[in-house]
């Protein structure tokens, strides 16, 4: 066989890997590979670093060899060779020619570029949003909506914890529609929507307010949980919702919890929200975290060693916001001190972040869910009004652990448990504290629950 044969085998394998692997995995570990040479049933492929080589050999070598055998019909070995830093980037022709951008990111031809939308961040775009297993449903729905606003998946409600990219994904929809169509797009937080509503009432300008929101083509409303216990704005928004849906205009919302956990909400609104497509966002997995770090560094024009990407990706699993914040902090530190970005610099400067036990994605929702599972109950049991002995005990434990791990006030805890009064929460916490004196096994139970909560929260 000639070198061209081996190159063909590699190119076909490359294409198959791109097709079969998740985008974030392929982009992190495979996109920078370069075919070098082949002979005697052995193919040599270039990779950028020793770290890169070791990771591929450890996790993906068998997958590659299986694909190579299927395509070449021979037992073909693979050797990964480190390319010099000044060597040219991957130029494998066939795979590169086959690559296609997602359809939702292609701008229509012969269209003048519109000015930046005043309410949207220009960096909140689809190409800056890392797609992974935990958010693929939401991302795919967002792409579909961007291509056909008002016609598919309407309304869309994206929910998830703090810092997981809900606002980014929502604004990516808005940016794409604004840039590639004449549709009018409004992005607003629920707090600002409420403030505008109150100003319109006080200034006798309700017709203007209604016209603004009921005649738009796309309404992006962030953090709808802010409408809790505000019946006036809920009533107004209910009618805005109906007007837009009836006119086949696109509605997109974000929320920090599942719809069924919204309290003190108009039942008609809950019913409308329940009709929405409701993808949830979970903390990114390791490969996705690495891809996010690389993408962010590239956008800032900074080269981050793979070893640094690895240690940050493994240790900062909370959410996207914390991950990017840590990276920006590290970059700022090295720029101001003139120090290079190395493992040592990263470990020293981010030691409080990398070593803290609170880096897991701890949320009250996770605490309630894990505690409920531990006692064979549901989260709604702990949040509801049932007073059976086993439910009350589990509820009190969840409150105690929530106070300990999250440092919530008793008022905040009461809101998480179905809107209970802060005195009820205080009584529950004191009850558990007193039980320590009579139940020697209680401490073991609580520590077991804490470990389970942290493991569940750190899962990726």
Look up the CATH number of the domain holding residue 159: 3.40.50.300
For residue 284, give both structure tokens: 């990114």
Determine the Cα–Cα distance for residues 198 and 343; give it in Å rounded to an integer: 52
pLDDT for res 200: 94
* Same domain, yes or no: 150 and 275: yes
* Same domain, yes or no: 443 and 354: no
31 lies in some domain = yes
* Total of domains in the chain: 4
Mean pLDDT value of segment 405-410: 73
pLDDT band of residue 113 (cuts 50, 70, 90) is low
pLDDT for res 92: 33
Q: Is 222 helix (H, G, I), strand (E, B) or coil?
A: strand
pLDDT band of residue 89 (cuts 50, 70, 90) is very low
Is 275 within 8 Å of 153 (Cβ atoms)? no
* Same domain, yes or no: 433 and 371: yes
Determine the Cα–Cα distance for residues 378 and 384; give it in Å rounded to an integer: 10
**CA–CA–CA angle 275, 277, 283 (5° rounding):** 135
Tell me what the pLDDT averaged over the chain comes to: 84
Q: What is the CATH number of the domain that holds 18?
A: 3.30.300.180
* Same domain, yes or no: 151 and 231: yes
Determine the Cα–Cα distance for residues 216 and 187; give it in Å rounded to an integer: 11
Q: What is the CATH number of the domain that holds 314?
A: 1.10.8.60
Mean pLDDT value of segment 88-92: 36
Share of the chain above pLDDT 90, in %: 34
Asked which of 273-277, 361-365, 394-398 is least confident by mean pLDDT, the reply is 361-365
Residue after which a domain boundary falls, among 341, 359, 377: 359
Determine the Cα–Cα distance for residues 316 and 330; give it in Å rounded to an integer: 13
Residue after which a domain boundary falls, among 255, 281, 307: 281
Residue after which a domain boundary falls, among 336, 359, 382: 359
pLDDT band of residue 2 (cuts 50, 70, 90) is confident
Mean pLDDT value of segment 194-218: 94
Q: What is the CATH number of the domain that holds 444?
A: 1.10.1750.10
Q: How long a stretch of residues is the chain? A: 460
Residue 11 has pLDDT above 80, yes or no: yes
More confident residue, 134 or 219: 219
Burial 165-193 (b: 16+ CB within 10 A, else e): bbbbbbbbbbbbbbbbbeeebbbbbbeeb
Determine the Cα–Cα distance for residues 391 and 305; give it in Å rounded to an integer: 50
Mean pLDDT value of segment 213-242: 93
Is 225 within 8 Å of 365 (Cβ atoms)? no
391 lies in some domain = yes
pLDDT for res 257: 81
CB atoms within 10 A of CB 305: 15
Residue 105 has pLDDT above 70, yes or no: no
Torsion of CA 197, 200, 202, 203, to 10 degrees: 170
* Same domain, yes or no: 138 and 274: yes
pLDDT for res 98: 38
Residue 435 has pLDDT above 90, yes or no: no
Is 366 within 8 Å of 360 (Cβ atoms)? no
Helix locations, 375-458, DSSP H: 379-383, 389-406, 410-416, 422-438, 442-458
75 lies in some domain = yes
For residue 437, give both structure tokens: 């004196």
Is 276 within 8 Å of 155 (Cβ atoms)? yes
For residue 18, give both structure tokens: 């791109």
Mean pLDDT value of segment 256-273: 85
pLDDT for res 207: 93
pLDDT for res 69: 87
105 lies in some domain = no
Bond from prior residue into 314 cis (ω within 30 degrees of 0): no
Contacts of 350 by beta carbon, 8 Å cutoff, 6+ apart = 312, 326, 329, 330
375 lies in some domain = yes
Is 342 within 8 Å of 331 (Cβ atoms)? no
Domain range for 347: 286-359
347 lies in some domain = yes
70 lies in some domain = yes
* Same domain, yes or no: 290 and 369: no
* Same domain, yes or no: 303 and 406: no
* Same domain, yes or no: 44 and 143: no
Residue 90 has pLDDT above 60, yes or no: no
pLDDT for res 104: 41
* Same domain, yes or no: 222 and 78: no
Determine the Cα–Cα distance for residues 363 and 386; give it in Å rounded to an integer: 23
Determine the Cα–Cα distance for residues 130 and 136; give it in Å rounded to an integer: 9
Q: Is the dihedral of CA 368, 160, 286, 326 positive or negative?
A: negative
pLDDT for res 112: 58
Any idea what DSSP says for residue 109? T
More confident residue, 409 or 113: 409
Contacts of 20 by beta carbon, 8 Å cutoff, 6+ apart = none
**CA–CA–CA angle 20, 23, 24 (5° rounding):** 130
The pTM is what? 0.56
Asked which of 80-89, 133-142, 239-248, 365-374 is least confident by mean pLDDT, the reply is 80-89
210 lies in some domain = yes
* Same domain, yes or no: 159 and 270: yes
pLDDT for res 99: 37
Q: Is 82 helix (H, G, I), strand (E, B) or coil?
A: strand
Residue 358 has pLDDT above 90, yes or no: no
Determine the Cα–Cα distance for residues 204 and 207; give it in Å rounded to an integer: 8
* Same domain, yes or no: 215 and 342: no
* Same domain, yes or no: 306 and 253: no
């Amino acid at each position: 066989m000639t070198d061209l044969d081996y190159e063909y085998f590699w190119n076909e394998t490359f294409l198959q890997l791109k097709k079969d692997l998740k985008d974030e995995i392929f982009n992190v570990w495979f996109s920078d590979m370069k075919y070098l040479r082949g002979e005697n049933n052995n193919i040599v492929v270039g990779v950028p670093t020793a770290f890169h080589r070791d990771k591929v050999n450890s996790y993906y070598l068998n997958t590659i060899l299986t694909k190579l055998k299927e395509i070449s019909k021979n037992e073909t070995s693979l050797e990964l060779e480190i390319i010099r830093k000044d060597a040219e980037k991957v130029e494998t022709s066939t795979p590169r020619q086959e690559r296609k951008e997602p359809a939702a990111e292609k701008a229509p031809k012969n269209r003048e570029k519109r000015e930046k939308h005043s309410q949207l961040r220009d960096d909140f775009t689809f190409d800056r949003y890392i797609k992974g297993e935990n958010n693929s449903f939401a991302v795919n729905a967002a792409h579909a909506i961007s291509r056909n606003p008002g016609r598919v998946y309407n309304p869309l409600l994206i929910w998830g914890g703090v810092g997981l990219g809900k606002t980014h994904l929502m604004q990516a929809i808005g940016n794409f529609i604004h840039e590639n169509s004449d549709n009018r797009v409004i992005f607003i937080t629920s707090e600002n929507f409420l403030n505008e509503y109150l100003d319109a009432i006080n200034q006798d300008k309700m017709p203007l307010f209604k016209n603004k929101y009921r005649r738009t083509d796309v309404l992006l409303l962030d953090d709808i949980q802010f409408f809790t216990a505000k019946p006036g704005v809920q009533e107004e928004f209910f009618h805005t919702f109906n007007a837009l849906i009836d006119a086949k205009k696109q509605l997109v919302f974000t929320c920090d919890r599942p719809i069924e956990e919204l309290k003190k909400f108009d039942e008609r609104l809950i019913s409308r929200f329940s009709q929405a497509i409701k993808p949830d966002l979970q903390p990114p997995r390791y490969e996705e975290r690495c891809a996010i770090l690389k993408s962010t560094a590239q956008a800032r024009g900074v080269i981050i060693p793979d070893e640094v990407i690895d240690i940050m990706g493994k240790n900062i699993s909370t959410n996207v916001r914390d991950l990017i914040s840590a990276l920006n902090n590290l970059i700022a530190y090295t720029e101001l001190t003139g120090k290079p970005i190395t493992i040592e610099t990263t470990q020293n400067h981010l030691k409080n972040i990398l070593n803290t036990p609170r880096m897991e994605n701890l949320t009250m929702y996770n605490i309630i869910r894990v505690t409920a599972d531990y006692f064979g109950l549901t989260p709604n049991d702990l949040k509801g009004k049932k007073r059976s002995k086993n439910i009350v005990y589990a509820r009190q434990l969840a409150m105690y652990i929530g106070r300990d791990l999250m440092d919530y006030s008793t008022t905040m805890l009461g809101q998480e448990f179905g809107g209970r009064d802060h005195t009820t929460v205080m009584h529950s916490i004191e009850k558990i504290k007193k039980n320590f004196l009579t139940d020697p096994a209680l401490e073991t139970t609580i520590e077991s629950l804490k470990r389970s909560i942290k493991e569940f929260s750190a899962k990726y």
